[in-house]
Amino acid sequence: MVSGYIEKIKYRNEENGYTVLCVSVDGEEEILVGTFSHIEEGSYISADVKERLHPVYGEQLFVESYELKRPDNEKAIEKYLASGAIKGIGPVLAARIVKKFAKDTLRIIEEEPERLEEVKGISENMARAVSVQVQEQKEQRAAFVYLQKYGISMKLANKIYKEYGERLYSVITENPYKLADDIQGVGFKLADEIAQKVGIPTNAQFRIKSGIVYILSRAALDGHVYLPMERLINIAAELLDIPRELIPIEVADMKIERRLSVKGIEGEDVVYLTSAYHTELSIARKLLELSVNSDSLRKDVEENLPRFESSSDIELDDLQRQAVIKSMSCGLIIITGGPGTGKTTTINMIIKYLLSKNMEVLLAAPTGRAAKRMEEATGYEAKTIHRLLEINAMPDGDDMESNIGLNFERNEDNPLEADAVIIDEMSMVDMYLMNSLLKAVTVGTRLILVGDTNQLPSVGPGNVLKDIIASGAVEVVKLERIYRQAGLSDIVINAHKMIEGEPIDLGKSSKDFVFIKRSGADNIISACITLLQSKLPKYVSADSYDIQIMSPMKKGMLGVERLNLILQNHLNPKQAKKPEKEFDGKIYRVGDKVMQTKNNYQIEWSVKNDIGIAMEKGQGVYNGDIGIIRYINDFEEFIRVEFDDRKIVDYPYTEISQLELAYAITIHKSQGSEYPAVIIPMYPGPKMLMNRNLIYTAVTRAKTCVALVGDPECFYEMTENTSQLKRYSSLDLQIKNLL
């Protein structure tokens, strides 16, 4: 047990409450570390501590539990007041107040604040303001202690207190599910746990309604825009442990409240969150609005394109030529096709033709890596769609991944100023991002959408590209010819064979498509390590860092979680002098290859010269960006990562969760990226996951060479499995209904 006055707060993380305290114990200074809900200089602390060895700072006293008492001597009271705990009171005023009221100071402030006017320099208004602050602090401390009983973190407690103030007690006891509706970061599960503790009945109306919203929101994270009524009832009955017949009653009530939309599709009732239904409807209306064709422009392009091809030294095939003509003459067009079919050549010709007519062209893609690829392929600046639309606020958590709640500067009131907007990798665009994009495009601006429908669909809800094509209401050009140079690549040839369902000979000698037979998970991993460390770098003239191992799954014997632990130990083992940081059961070590897992538009980066001076600064690191940990600072609590283009980012420990080891990544995370070589372990996994679209996406990420390692049967099963987890979306129907 350690007891004494808090002399100084040396460090405090307001996000998680981690604090380093300097405490005066019997005239001696002790350093305590731990997590505190609320703490102030001058307070008296009694703490149960445990000695622990810190890898950098040596022995520390870690606080396991503690109790705080108000300052009760004049020195401590003055210290507390002078610490800035009360706005407007600094060291000089603190000394005057304590000199006047001595040990009775805090009671006077709380109970007789008008007496503060007796102190020189304090007006009536200031006295009143000080009293209000002290009372608020008292209430906040009590609220934090109360919320901690329900397992609520400091960060969430702060959000809850700011939202409700003193009302939080009635919200918790009467309807804790309101927390899930009002507070970002409080989900249904946490609200339900609180509800159980306060005795809310399982069949309470607001519980069922909150559960329904939760189910539909989680479904959106699996790509669904709606759920069939029967499926919703089944899931809700199991989740909430209530009779099935209660659920349709609440669905009907929520429909009246306009929280849900219930529609008929193919003879069955389906249920949308109202926001999701109206988002799809908005997309459908805008697409039809943009689909305006111009015969005069068509004739102009048809007459001039042959001459332009000749001068550009580019020869287009009939479909490519059709794509260019339609891009000039149609308000909206989709250009689709597999690898090697000339999508890039077509885009480049479209750009050149537009620029020759002095037209403004904007290029964008869903992710940072995809935008970078687009820029390299065209020679023109390409942005993420979020940057193009000038994002001004990002939600947290799951909403960030599904693009819900985004706010952009570019919208219907402030549209994009361009004659044409070209979007690449459209298969990755979900309905919420698509809706935001369409709001910023006016009639008269050409919208050219480019993508491969055989790639994996978007992470967020909807099946935008496929649904638009299926509607039959938009001009579509599908490029089919495999060009000579691409035709020499077995990567391209085999990718097309996969889609057509044609057999692939894994025994064939190939320069860029190699299958290495291995049995057993550990033997497969060993072969992957050999390829990564010694075989492929020389073969593709790339650093092993640039070669990517990709697995279909996250968990399991050859899931990325296990692979990364093994690869980390082989490629970047623990060393006595090599700094590392443990976070949430994971080790982050200097030299580790890591990936950013979420779009973070606010985080700052810099590019420094050889002597450490920042030559360029900016903001934004994107989902899929890969870098190397260069530095770990345990005292200031940050990890420094160097990304592509020498961009340096300092991650506070509170944001480490955005980083994952990236020696191996899931195929889903590779979307929009391209690597010199790709290594894919072939090992059995869940049937619904191990499908043709997944292996097709993985293979087409390789630029020079793809190496598959493992069981040939696993590969053949994937290429033959055409089943995908069905996505419930209805954009195609929405478009058809408006025609």
Q: Which residues pair with 447 in a beta bridge?
A: 332, 421
**DSSP β-ladder status, 548-551 and 675-682:** parallel
Q: Please name the residue that has the structure tokens 């994937």.
A: 718
Dihedral angle over CA of 617, 620, 623, 626, nearest 10: 10
Helix H or strand E segment including 637: none
Q: Please name the residue that has the structure tokens 């409080």.
A: 186
DSSP letter string, 283-331:
HHHHHHHH--B-HHHHHHHHHHHHHHHHHHT----HHHHHHHHHHHHBS
pLDDT averaged over 10-residue windows placed end to end, the chain, 739 residues: 81 72 82 77 79 66 77 78 76 89 86 86 85 79 78 76 87 89 84 89 94 94 95 96 96 97 95 97 97 82 85 86 92 94 92 92 92 92 92 56 72 95 96 96 96 90 96 94 74 93 91 95 95 94 93 93 94 91 88 90 86 83 89 89 90 90 94 93 87 94 96 94 85 95
Distance CA 566, CA 588 (A): 14
Q: Are 524 and 682 in contact (CB under 8 A)?
A: yes
Closest CA relative to residue 274, chosen from 256, 296, 259, 286: 259
Contacts (Cβ under 8 Å, ≥6 apart) of 380: 351, 361, 363
Counting beta carbons within 10 angstroms of the beta carbon of residue 610, is it exposed (0 to 12), middle (13 to 18) or buried (19 or more)? exposed
Counting beta carbons within 10 angstroms of the beta carbon of residue 707, is it exposed (0 to 12), middle (13 to 18) or buried (19 or more)? buried
What's the chain's Rg over C-alpha atoms? 30
For residue 221, which amino acid is it?
Answer: L
User: Between 229-240 and 205-221, two packed helices, what is the crossing angle to 10 degrees?
Assistant: 120
For CA atoms 310, 312, 316, 322, the dihedral sign is negative
Q: Are 355 and 328 in contact (CB under 8 A)?
A: no
Helix H or strand E segment including 644: none
pTM: 0.80
Give the number of residues written for the chain.
739
Q: Please name the residue that has the structure tokens 């973070």.
A: 600
Coil, helix or strand at residue 507: coil
Compute how many other C-beta atoms are within 10 angstroms of the C-beta atom of residue 464: 29
Contacts (Cβ under 8 Å, ≥6 apart) of 502: none
Euclidean distance between the first and the last CA atom of the chain, given in angstroms as a whole number: 76
Closest CA relative to residue 210, chosen from 262, 162, 247, 165: 247
Q: What is the widest separation between alpha-carbon atoms in the chain? A: 95
Q: Are 54 and 60 in contact (CB under 8 A)?
A: yes
Q: Are 428 and 434 in contact (CB under 8 A)?
A: no
Compute how many other C-beta atoms are within 10 angstroms of the C-beta atom of residue 508: 11
Q: Which residues of 244-267 are buried (b: 16+ CB within 10 A; e: fewer)?
A: eebbbebbeebeeeebbbbeeeee
For residue 426, which amino acid is it?
Answer: M
Distance CA 449, CA 465 (A): 9
